[in-house]
Amino acid sequence: MKLIEKDGVEAFLELAGYVGSVKNNVSLYNYICKNKDTLAVTNGKEFFMLFDKALENAEDGVYELATSKAYKKLAKKATIDVDDFPETNFLVNADLSSALPITKSQAEKMLIAYTFVSTDDTRQYIEGVHFDEPYIVATDGRQLYASDGFNGFPNVTLPHTKMLDTILKKGENINFAIYEKYALFEFSYFGSTFRYALQTIDGHFPNWKNVVPERHTNLIKMESSQYPVYKLTAPNINEWNNIHAIYKKLGKAVRDYAKIAIYPKENSVVEVKNEYDDMVLGEMKWYGFKNEYFDEEQNTLYINEGFFNHALTILPVHFIAYTDFIHAIVFNYIDNSFALVMPMVKQ
């Protein structure tokens, strides 16, 4: 049954697959609920809803979530009552009068931060971006990104979801608020108003400032430190793009087994290496990385694809710094954000 020909409804059905389940199991998460002027879908941890007065003309009920990627229509009505659908009233009635607007610049910084989050399921507390007013921070335990410009944001850690990624990239008039254990987003898409809620990450985000050496970055001011700061020559964007082009040409199957490594050699080298047979697949000389305090065996930097794509080939580098404290490299960008990379001992 098709409800109405309206861009907002079609947009909802297109996005609903990011939240609802289309697996062949018996679950309420396989359905979309139409109730009065709303459409709703959930997977238990996320809720997504469209508000549209025109929906009042369509029949209330619960519908099977279409299995096509387009989600352009609702399938036949299921034998489930509206009252049996998971509770969504909290989302309908949530007060967003004091919600914070997310600007385009903030959305872009959040998207960059998500490329730094941990993918280790045993470390859930760092699997999201963390707001530490006025900063946003993300880390996988060895690489860290921080930026400012989030004044007034609540202290909370948000997981990464496909829906949130889409909202930050394509949504307009995005507003954000915290309600109990949920992060609520209201946004415009195709001229219609949507609400999205997801559970925040329950856990203590690490004290990230403890690993940022004093004067390593202009973003935060630390206590005086006994460790001097060494500023290194930053490779220009064309140099990074050359090694990035080699990396991208490898194809996904090869990239899955490749590492990007920076070695502090006589003439510093950036290498793309096969993880298993140690074959060098691409190489770039980086003059200026050499430092008498570097120990190649202890200070090799391995960087992941997400960091490589964003931190080295998209964001303009202002300067690069190194101190003897934790032997990390910090890439400082012209927007006053920074990315810190800690070395990993060669095995």
| Stretch 158-174: mean pLDDT | 95
CATH of the domain at 121: 3.10.150.10
The residue out of 42, 73, 93 marking a domain boundary is 93
Judgement on whether residues 245 and 185 belong to the same structural domain of the protein: no
Our count of domains for the chain comes to 3
pTM over 0.85: no
Q: Token pair for residue 46?
A: 């996320």
pLDDT value for 108: 92
Judgement on whether residues 259 and 177 belong to the same structural domain of the protein: no
Judgement on whether residues 268 and 182 belong to the same structural domain of the protein: no
CATH of the domain at 257: 3.10.150
Locate all alpha helices (DSSP H) within the chain, ordered by sequence. Answer: 7-16, 89-93, 104-114, 162-170, 237-249, 252-255, 296-299, 305-307
Judgement on whether residues 241 and 167 belong to the same structural domain of the protein: no
The residue out of 29, 63, 93 marking a domain boundary is 93
User: Measured between alpha carbons, how far is 102 from 108 in angstroms, rounded to an integer?
Assistant: 10
Give the domain extent around 247.
220-341
pLDDT tens-digit profile of 171-211? Answer: 999 999 998 889 999 999 988 899 999 999 988 999 998 88
How far, in Å, are 33, 217, 299 from residue 184 at the CA level?
19, 33, 42
215 occurs within a structural domain: no
Q: Token pair for residue 42?
A: 């959930």
* Per-residue burial over 307-317, b = 16 or more CB atoms within 10 Å of its CB, e = otherwise: bbebbbbebeb
The residue out of 93, 114, 143 marking a domain boundary is 93
DSSP helix/strand/coil, 111:
helix
Residue 251 region by backbone torsions, left for phi larger than 0, else alpha for psi between -120 and 50, else beta? left
pLDDT higher than 60, residue 224 = no
SS3 of 82-93: HHHCCCCHHHHH
pLDDT value for 71: 59
Please say whether the beta carbons of 328 and 214 come within 8 A: no
Residue pointed to by tokens 């980086």: 286
| Stretch 247-276: mean pLDDT | 66
Which residue would you say has higher pLDDT here, 59 or 6? 59
| Stretch 90-119: mean pLDDT | 91
User: Measured between alpha carbons, how far is 172 from 103 in angstroms, rounded to an integer?
Assistant: 9
pLDDT higher than 50, residue 265 = yes
Most confident of 189-203, 273-287, 321-335: 189-203
Please say whether the beta carbons of 266 and 290 come within 8 A: yes
pLDDT tens-digit profile of 9-52? Answer: 888 888 888 897 655 555 778 888 999 889 999 988 899 999 88
214 occurs within a structural domain: no
User: Measured between alpha carbons, how far is 314 from 310 in angstroms, rounded to an integer?
Assistant: 5
Among 79-93, 154-168, 206-220, 310-324, name the one with the lowest average pLDDT.
Answer: 310-324
